[in-house]
Amino acid sequence: MTYPSIYIESTTQSLHARIDQLTENSKGLWGKMTVGQMLSHCTVPYEQILGQNTDQPPLFMRIILTLFLKKSMVNEVPYKQNLPTAPSFIRTEHYDVQKEKERLKGMIQTIQEMGAEKLAAKPSLSLGKLSATEWNNLLYKHIDHHLQQFGV
């Protein structure tokens, strides 16, 4: 399965439209997160790319991620439901859904405008160097997974 390109406007618009369908009352079809927690959770990789969040797993965990999990994180196979969440991605507080929707949409837009070449020049804090395609797969399948979790 080839994922839509996060580097083109139509994909950004499609993701924005799906995000806009979420409301304070949206319930997950699996998992424990509220919609606000999910939206905040989905901003983490964008915050890391943009230098707003520099939380990095310990060296040993980065080695494990790179050697054993990277391929499954950047390939074209969708994530399974109820996979464990990295500690820096866990959200337990209450979040304003409208604010988180706008924040996430803005970050998606920023990455689209950044483009494939600039994004590929930025290493992942957890996985190291990624190609433009690997970044695309990682970011798209993560957000798609959680939007599906909430039925949009």
Ranges of each domain in the chain: 9-149
Q: What is the pLDDT of residues 79-113, one digit of tens each?
A: 999 988 888 899 999 999 999 999 999 999 999 99
**Mean pLDDT computed over 56-70:** 87
Q: Is the pLDDT score of 136 beyond 80?
A: yes
Fold exhibited by the domain 9-149: Four Helix Bundle (Hemerythrin (Met), subunit A) (1.20.120)
What confidence category does residue 68 fall into, taking pLDDT thresholds of 50, 70 and 90? confident
**150 has pLDDT over 80:** yes
pTM, rounded to two decimals: 0.94
Tell me the pLDDT of the chain averaged across its residues: 95
Distances (CA, A) of 34 to 57, 100, 110, 124: 25, 12, 25, 26
User: How far apart are the two ends of the chain, measured CA to CA in Å?
Assistant: 19
Q: Band of the pLDDT at 4, cuts 50, 70, 90?
A: very high
Residues 5, 9: Cα–Cα separation, whole Å: 9
CA–CA distance, 8 with 73 (Å, rounded to integer)? 21
